[in-house]
């Protein structure tokens, strides 16, 4: 029996998609060069992924295809700038956490779990937060063991090595296989003494604005979404990846380190802010100043290219009106 294909959605060819963009969206696109460019960026990944700012209700009123290419190129180029540095930052955060755990307790996860990941003990069973923090701790353990099990099942040699020798998987190996979000939960369950030491080891210990020593986890939870978006080649130009609101202590940290008044009138929420945060963390990790300045200058070049290629209102909707002043202040630090 033949299947009825009449109701199937007919896929548009690239020529039909170009006609649709011209006739229905008012976008000037024509010729073999722009056809090739559309094929290279992909209609669904390229055009549809870059036709709005923040959420699909905020459509960009494109008038020509070159504007789409400009935003797409800006997005791809800043991902290229960010990627290696985000990988360095993730490794540095994890390696310093390992050092903190070894110095205070052990590299054995079970021992660390008992002596350092016990923040719930600051509450009594009658406190509302007791059950919440204890469940977080239990969930973390289950998640890490499940990840170890999955990696063993997939044949990861590093995990097989320890299991086949009937040895516990050391903390360094666990840090190698967990996500940045899972690592953030690890930090969140640390007791205060461990958090203080880790903040000192990370060179981000500020008693005046962070008496609970939770800045490292604030930074991790803000960076994890950016890191994942960059790694999966998702759009980042408008910070649509952002799922965590910055805390007051984080804004105070940004103000102290960048000279930008994030704690009052300036919002944290553009890709410029994430670029500045990346530069500040590299500074805390003792990267050479010339390398940090290079990161910001590379970004500045991409910003100016975008400024010249799209209408002013579109540029301001993406980056705001204070990008230049923010970058100048950040490079002066």
Q: For residue range 51-82, what is the model confidence (pLDDT) as tens digits?
A: 999 999 999 999 999 999 999 999 999 999 99
Mean pLDDT of 275-299: 96
Phi, psi of 54 (to 5 degrees): 85, -60
Structural domain for 153, as ranges: 65-332
The overall longest dimension of the chain from CA atoms, in Å, is 76
- My answer on whether 21 and 144 are in the same domain is no
Token pair belonging to 262? 């994030």
Residue with tokens 């016990």: 118
Mean pLDDT of 78-101: 98
- My answer on whether 32 and 117 are in the same domain is no
pLDDT confidence band for 263 (50 / 70 / 90)? low
pLDDT at 136: 97
With 0-12 / 13-18 / 19 or more C-beta atoms within 10 angstroms meaning exposed / middle / buried, residue 321 is exposed
Number of domains in the chain: 2
Q: Is 59 helix (H, G, I), strand (E, B) or coil?
A: strand
Q: How far is CA 229 from CA 80, 178, 223, 263, 301, in A?
A: 12, 17, 10, 26, 22
Residue with tokens 């073999």: 32
Residues 6+ apart with CB under 8 A from 18: 29, 30, 34, 35, 38
Token pair belonging to 113? 């779990």
Residue 4 above 70 pLDDT?
Answer: no
Mean pLDDT of 35-62: 92
- The mean pLDDT of the chain is 94
- My answer on whether 179 and 323 are in the same domain is yes
pLDDT digits (tens, 9 = 90+) for 180-211: 999 999 999 999 999 999 999 999 999 999 99
- My answer on whether 44 and 128 are in the same domain is no
pLDDT digits (tens, 9 = 90+) for 113-171: 999 999 999 999 999 999 999 999 999 999 999 999 999 999 999 999 999 999 999 99
Instruction: Check: CB of residue 59 under 8 Å from CB of residue 318.
Output: no
Residue 6 above 70 pLDDT?
Answer: no
Does the residue 6 lie in any domain? Answer: no
pLDDT digits (tens, 9 = 90+) for 220-246: 999 999 999 999 999 999 999 999 889
- My answer on whether 41 and 186 are in the same domain is no
Does the residue 57 lie in any domain? Answer: no
Mean pLDDT of 266-284: 94
DSSP single-letter state for residue 44: I
Query: Which of 85, 68, 79 shows the shortest CA–CA distance to 306?
Result: 68
- My answer on whether 34 and 159 are in the same domain is no
Q: Comparing 89-93, 166-170, 259-263, which segment has the lowest mean pLDDT? A: 259-263
Q: How many CB atoms within 10 Å of residue 108?
A: 16
Mean pLDDT of 299-307: 98
Query: Which of 120, 279, 90 shows the shortest CA–CA distance to 190?
Result: 120
Phi, psi of 64 (to 5 degrees): -150, 160
pLDDT at 1: 46
- My answer on whether 42 and 70 are in the same domain is no
Query: Which of 290, 250, 294, 291 shows the shortest CA–CA distance to 273?
Result: 250
- My answer on whether 170 and 312 are in the same domain is yes
Q: Is 170 helix (H, G, I), strand (E, B) or coil?
A: strand
Q: Considering 23, 50, 77, which residue would you say is the last residue of a domain? A: 50
Positive/negative CA dihedral, 254, 255, 258, 262 = positive
Residues 6+ apart with CB under 8 A from 199: 205, 206, 210, 213, 215, 216
Residues 6+ apart with CB under 8 A from 314: 53, 60, 61, 67, 71
- My answer on whether 238 and 122 are in the same domain is yes
Does the residue 320 lie in any domain? Answer: yes
- My answer on whether 46 and 80 are in the same domain is no
Quote the CA–CA distance of 178 and 156 in Å, as a whole number. 13
Q: Is 52 helix (H, G, I), strand (E, B) or coil?
A: strand
- My answer on whether 46 and 70 are in the same domain is no
């Amino acid at each position: 029996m033949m299947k009825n294909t009449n109701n199937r959605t007919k896929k548009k060819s690239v020529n039909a998609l170009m006609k649709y963009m011209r006739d229905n969206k008012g976008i000037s696109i024509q010729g073999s060069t722009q056809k090739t460019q559309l094929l290279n960026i992909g209609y669904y990944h390229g055009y549809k992924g870059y036709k709005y700012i923040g959420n699909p209700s905020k459509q960009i009123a494109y008038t020509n295809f070159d504007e789409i290419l400009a935003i797409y190129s800006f997005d791809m180029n800043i991902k290229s700038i960010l990627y290696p540095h985000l990988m360095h930052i993730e490794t540095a955060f994890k390696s310093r956490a390992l050092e903190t755990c070894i110095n205070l307790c052990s590299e054995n996860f079970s021992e660390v779990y008992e002596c350092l990941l016990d923040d719930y003990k600051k509450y009594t069973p009658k406190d509302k937060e007791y059950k919440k923090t204890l469940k977080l701790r239990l969930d973390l353990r289950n998640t890490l063991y499940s990840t170890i099990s999955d990696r063993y099942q997939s044949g990861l040699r590093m995990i097989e090595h320890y299991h086949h020798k009937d040895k516990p998987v050391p903390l360094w190996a666990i840090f190698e296989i967990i996500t940045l979000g899972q690592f953030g939960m690890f930090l969140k369950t640390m007791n205060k003494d461990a958090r203080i030491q880790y903040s000192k080891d990370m060179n981000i210990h500020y008693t005046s604005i962070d008496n609970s020593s939770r800045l490292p986890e604030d930074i991790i939870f803000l960076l994890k979404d950016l890191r994942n978006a960059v790694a999966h080649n998702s759009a980042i130009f408008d910070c649509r990846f952002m799922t965590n609101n910055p805390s007051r202590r984080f804004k105070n940290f940004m103000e102290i380190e960048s000279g930008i008044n994030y704690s009052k009138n300036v919002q944290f929420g553009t890709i410029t802010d994430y670029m500045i945060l990346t530069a500040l963390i590299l500074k805390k990790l003792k990267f050479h100043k010339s390398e940090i300045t290079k990161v910001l200058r590379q970004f500045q070049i991409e910003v100016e290219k975008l400024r010249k290629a799209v209408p002013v209102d579109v540029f301001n909707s993406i980056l705001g009106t204070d990008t230049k002043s923010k970058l100048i202040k950040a490079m002066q630090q």
